[in-house]
């Protein structure tokens, strides 16, 4: 549950078109990218240039016979809608704020597959999201958040825009999302359209989705049908290959062949119409190695989505087994299990149990590798072939990502004691905190140290042995640097696969139905104002929760992040200061709190007084010196002083304990402190003396008036008849 709740929190942090708020997170921001996006035209020359750069390698696709989509005038499918359109919602795709239709569709597929096919996963309604506790699956509602965005991406002719992107540049690298750029949509493509059709149809045919959101299900299916009509017309006019235009790499691995097959699959499962079934069987053979990436990576991208949906269609209640093609069903089931067996074999072949492919090891590369993501295919295979070996491989993969690895780093932000601080994420780069938002996976194996604008290749040159050495290179699993590295950047697809894989195990625990919606944590102990360099101590409490066993993380202005039950800090600069806390219980429940105070030059003022003017050696009167401060009493304050009188400390006066201190601490919550000295009867006549204490100046307080206090000591040891 700790992992599931962490990944779910990460998805909440990726939401677009809304705000991130307390009490659900401390990484707050206002509603982002809510303004309508612009449908571009040829006047947006910079946007046209970016489109051209994205399609520059179009000729690498052997079947790419369509003209290159090099600008807005070369698109096959003109915009029908013009002006501005509402495309708010969905999730930011990765570290940037853009939203890619193909990845959005894959995200929806993974979550919907899990709630429909994984036993009991749909019961999770306690992940700490704003919707938690409302009686509807949290995963289902996260999928709907994305699907609602997808539905907005459809043009009037049924085609779907490829992505939502900044209007004037590639990345909003220097702003928070709620201050983001004006946005545009990119041209429609057949790959984007087919992916959106498939995802919307999958939602529409889900019994759970239909029960909770019947109107949305009808709307989605209508939009999916209109999108299929667009695809049919495009291929009839331009041909199967000629209708596809490449943009960015998303959806380009098999051109649009896999997305169209997946769309046909989902429309058949949603409607039962044989026309879609025939297209699926004619376009797709799951046993064909050409449907795998590099001929060995099974269930890749949309082909994998189609296999999963078809193989589990009957179990998910989307179509009866009698309506399915037995031959196609058998192939899909075998490929689903084969993918799980691949992951099991790779886990066994790895000293740490992570399912890194041998093929990847062979080329010494591991970009965008997430151990937890591999477990998703193991989880799906276990539905058809329950196997304890699957469970072990499953756990090994999650353990590796969670910290059981050679560098002892937890590759999920917000978990563990040793955490990455730097990552490819525009919010994390621009907010006020050192740590990135919790719940983000970071690539588990780094191929090499990245080229950075400031350091260039220097980081890579500093390693020994060399990463690129032919003989005895630096060990691959031991390579990790806490730096900006695009090869460790996640997408929402990685997040979703990790989340639902672990969810299959989480629902087998006693916490499956544990009620949970975060309360607002409260930070205590902070004054409204405090002097610069004056220490203050913050603590946290949460209604109804015992945080004794919680892992509590603190962040504050000008401070290093720290872990502990409290935070003691001394502001080093004037002005407003903030403190944030994030407390995680062992089961992954989290509470968040935030507070502010002002650091000023108004230091406390200390004065000293004595409660008696005179004491004698033979008497019982004690000398009490009281130190009093002004201002806040929230923090402890240590005051130093000198003994400047004619009386000798220790010989003439001392405490009951026998010592003579040179400082006193006014404790937290107190405004004064008293030291009591007793006069020593030494049997010698020395004449009248004075015990005098004088405050020493200090940067933490001002010396007030009176700054000195004295007690006259009378010597009663004078011999009889003695005269001065």
Output 466 or 218, whichever has higher pLDDT: 218
* Mean pLDDT over the full length of the chain: 94
Rg of the Cα trace of the chain? 34
Q: What confidence score (pLDDT) does residue 723 get?
A: 42
Mean pLDDT of 487-500: 96
Q: Is the pLDDT of residue 559 over 50?
A: yes
Q: What is the mean pLDDT of residues 443-455?
A: 89
Whole-number Å distance between alpha carbons of 628 and 79: 76
Mean pLDDT across 656-672 = 92
Phi and psi angles of residue 637, each rounded to the nearest 5 degrees, phi first: -140, 125
Asked which of 83-97, 243-257, 468-482, 662-676 is least confident by mean pLDDT, the reply is 468-482
Q: Residue 697: exposed, middle, or buried by beta-carbon count in 10 A (0-12, 13-18, 19+)?
A: exposed
User: How far apart are the C-alpha atoms of 308 and 331, rounded to whole Å?
Assistant: 11
For position 619, what pLDDT does the model report? 66
Rounded distance between C-alpha atoms, residue 692 and residue 699, angstroms: 23
The dihedral over CA atoms of 224, 265, 255, 230, expressed in degrees to the nearest 10, equals -30
Mean pLDDT of 8-15: 98
CB contact set of 377 (below 8 Å; sequence gap of 6+): 298, 299, 339, 340, 342, 343
**Does residue 603 have a pLDDT over 80?**
no
Q: Is residue 126 pLDDT above 60, yes or no?
A: yes
Q: Average pLDDT for residues 58-63, to the nearest whole number?
A: 85
CA angle, residues 624, 627, 632, in degrees to nearest 5:
150
Q: Average pLDDT in the 476-502 region?
A: 94
**Domains of the chain, start order:** 2-446+481-506 (1.50.10.10), 522-600 (2.60.40.10), 605-714 (2.60.40.2030)
pLDDT digits (tens, 9 = 90+) for 199-242: 999 999 999 999 999 999 999 999 999 999 999 999 999 999 99
Q: Which residues of 68-101 are buried (b: 16+ CB within 10 A; e: fewer)?
A: ebbbbebbbbebeeeeebebbbbbbbbbbbbbbb
Sign of CA dihedral 2, 8, 10, 12: negative
Q: How confident is the model at residue 722 (pLDDT cuts 50, 70, 90)?
A: very low
Is it the case that residue 634 has pLDDT exceeding 80?
no
Nearest to 625 by CA among 673, 684, 658, 657: 673
Of 609 and 364, the structure prediction assigns the larger pLDDT to 609
3-state secondary structure string, 32-58? CCCCCEECCCCCCHHHHHHHHHHCCCH
pLDDT band per the 50, 70, 90 thresholds, residue 470: confident
Cα(393)–Cα(340) distance, integer angstroms:
10
Task: Tell me how far apart the alpha carbons of residues 677 and 651 are, in angstroms, rounded to a whole number.
Answer: 12
Which letter, b or e, does each residue of 102-123 get, where b requires 16 or more Cβ atoms within 10 Å of its Cβ? bbbbbbbbbbbbbbbbbeebbe
Confidence of residue 468 (pLDDT cuts 50, 70, 90): confident
Chain segment 231-261, per-residue pLDDT in tens: 999 999 999 999 999 999 999 999 999 999 9
| Cα–Cα distance for residue pair 402/417, rounded to 1 Å | 11
pLDDT computed for residue 589 by the predictor: 98
**Is the predicted pLDDT of residue 149 greater than 70, yes or no?**
yes
Mean pLDDT of 148-160: 98
Q: Give the model's pLDDT for residue 724.
A: 37
Of the ranges 66-75, 383-392, 528-537, 712-721, which one carries the lowest mean pLDDT score?
712-721
User: Is residue 588 reached through a cis peptide bond, with omega within 30 degrees of 0 on the bond before it?
Assistant: no
What value does the mean pLDDT take over residues 162-182?
96
Q: What's the CA dihedral at 171, 176, 178, 182 to 10 degrees?
A: -20
Instruction: Give the whole-angstrom CA distance, residue 545 versus residue 563.
Output: 19
Q: Could you tell me which residues come within 8 angstroms of residue 422 by beta carbon, excluding any fewer than 6 positions away?
A: 436, 482, 483, 484
User: Residue 639: how many CB atoms within 10 A of its CB?
Assistant: 21
Is 594's pLDDT higher than 70?
A: yes
d(C-alpha 357, C-alpha 296), whole Å: 10
- Band of the pLDDT at 647, cuts 50, 70, 90? very high
**Cβ 631 vs Cβ 531: under 8 Å:** yes
The CA–CA distances, whole Å, from 155 to 42, 151, 259, 594 equal 18, 10, 18, 43
pLDDT at 382 over 90: yes
User: Residue 717: pLDDT band by 50, 70, 90 thresholds?
Assistant: low
| C-alpha span between 276 and 614 (Å, rounded) | 105
> In 49-170, which ranges are E strands?
84-85, 99-100, 163-166
Say if residue 721's pLDDT is above 70. no
Above pLDDT 70, what percent of the chain?
A: 98
Distance CA 254, CA 263 (A): 14
Cα separation, 222 vs 225, whole angstroms: 5
Residue 513 CA to residue 517 CA, distance in Å, equals 12
């Amino acid at each position: 549950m700790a992992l599931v709740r962490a990944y779910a929190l990460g998805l909440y942090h990726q939401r677009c078109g809304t705000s991130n708020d307390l009490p659900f997170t401390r990484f707050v921001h206002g509603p982002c990218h809510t303004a309508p996006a612009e449908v571009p035209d040829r006047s947006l020359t910079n946007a046209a240039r970016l489109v051209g750069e994205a399609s520059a390698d179009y000729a690498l696709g052997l079947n790419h016979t369509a003209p290159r989509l090099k600008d807005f005038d070369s698109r096959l499918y003109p915009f029908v809608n013009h002006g501005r359109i509402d495309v708010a919602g969905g999730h930011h795709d990765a570290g940037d704020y853009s939203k890619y239709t193909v990845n959005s569709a894959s995200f929806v597929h993974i979550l919907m597959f899990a709630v429909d096919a994984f036993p009991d996963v749909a019961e999770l309604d306690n992940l700490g999201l704003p919707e938690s506790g409302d009686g509807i699956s949290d995963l289902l509602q996260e999928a709907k958040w994305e699907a609602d965005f997808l539905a907005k991406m459809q043009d009037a002719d049924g085609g779907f825009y490829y992505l939502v992107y900044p209007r004037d540049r590639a990345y909003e690298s220097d702003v928070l999302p709620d201050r983001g750029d004006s946005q545009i949509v990119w041209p429609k493509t057949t790959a984007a359209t087919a992916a959106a059709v498939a995802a919307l149809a999958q939602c529409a045919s889900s019994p759970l989705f239909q029960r909770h959101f019947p109107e949305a299900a009808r709307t989605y299916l209508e939009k999916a049908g209109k999108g299929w009509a667009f695809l049919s017309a495009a291929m009839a006019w331009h041909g199967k290959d000629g209708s596809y235009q490449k943009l960015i790499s998303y959806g380009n691995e098999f051109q649009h062949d896999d997305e169209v097959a997946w769309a046909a699959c989902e429309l058949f499962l949603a409607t039962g119409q044989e026309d879609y079934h025939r297209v699926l069987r004619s376009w797709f053979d799951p046993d064909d190695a050409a449907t795998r990436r590099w001929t060995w990576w099974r269930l890749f991208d949309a082909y994998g989505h189609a296999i999963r949906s078809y193989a589990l269609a009957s179990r998910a209640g989307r179509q009866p087994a009698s309506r399915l093609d037995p031959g196609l069903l058998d192939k899909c089931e075998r490929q689903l299990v084969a993918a799980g067996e691949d992951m099991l074999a790779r886990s066994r072949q790895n000293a740490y149990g992570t399912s890194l492919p041998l093929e990847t090891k062979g080329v010494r590369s591991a970009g965008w590798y997430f151990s937890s993501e591999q477990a998703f295919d193991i989880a799906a295979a276990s539905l058809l072939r329950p196997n304890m070996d699957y469970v072990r491989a499953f756990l090994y993969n999650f353990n590796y990502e969670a910290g059981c690895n050679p560098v002892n780093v937890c590759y999920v932000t917000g978990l563990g004691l040793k955490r990455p601080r730097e990552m490819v994420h525009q919010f994390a780069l621009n907010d006020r905190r050192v740590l990135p938002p919790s719940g983000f996976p970071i690539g588990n194996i780094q191929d090499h140290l990245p080229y950075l604008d400031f350091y260039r290749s220097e980081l890579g040159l500093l390693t020994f042995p060399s990463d690129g050495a032919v003989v005895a290179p630096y060990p691959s699993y031991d390579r990790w640097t806490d730096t900006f590295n695009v090869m460790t950047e996640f997408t929402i697809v990685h997040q979703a696969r990790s989340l639902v894989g672990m969810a299959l195990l989480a629902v087998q625990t006693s916490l499956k139905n544990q009620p949970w919606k975060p309360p607002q944590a409260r930070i205590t102990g902070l004054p409204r104002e405090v002097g610069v360099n004056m220490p203050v101590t913050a603590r946290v409490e949460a209604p109804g929760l015992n945080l004794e066993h919680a892992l509590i993380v603190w962040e504050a202005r000008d401070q290093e992040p720290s872990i502990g039950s409290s935070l003691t800090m001394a502001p080093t600069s004037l002005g407003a200061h903030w403190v944030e806390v994030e407390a995680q219980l062992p089961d992954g429940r989290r509470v968040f709190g935030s507070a502010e105070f002002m650091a000023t030059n108004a230091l406390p003022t200390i004065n000293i007084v004595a409660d008696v003017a005179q004491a004698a050696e033979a008497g019982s009167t004690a000398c009490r010196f009281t130190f009093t401060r002004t201002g806040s009493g929230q923090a402890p304050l240590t005051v130093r002083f000198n003994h400047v009188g004619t009386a000798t400390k220790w010989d003439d006066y001392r405490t009951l304990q026998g010592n003579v201190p040179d400082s006193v601490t006014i404790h937290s919550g107190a405004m004064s402190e008293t030291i009591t000295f007793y006069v020593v009867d030494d049997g010698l006549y020395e004449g009248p003396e004075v015990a005098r204490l004088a405050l020493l100046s200090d940067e933490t307080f001002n010396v007030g008036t009176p700054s000195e206090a004295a007690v006259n000591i009378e010597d009663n040891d004078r011999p009889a008849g003695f005269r001065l």
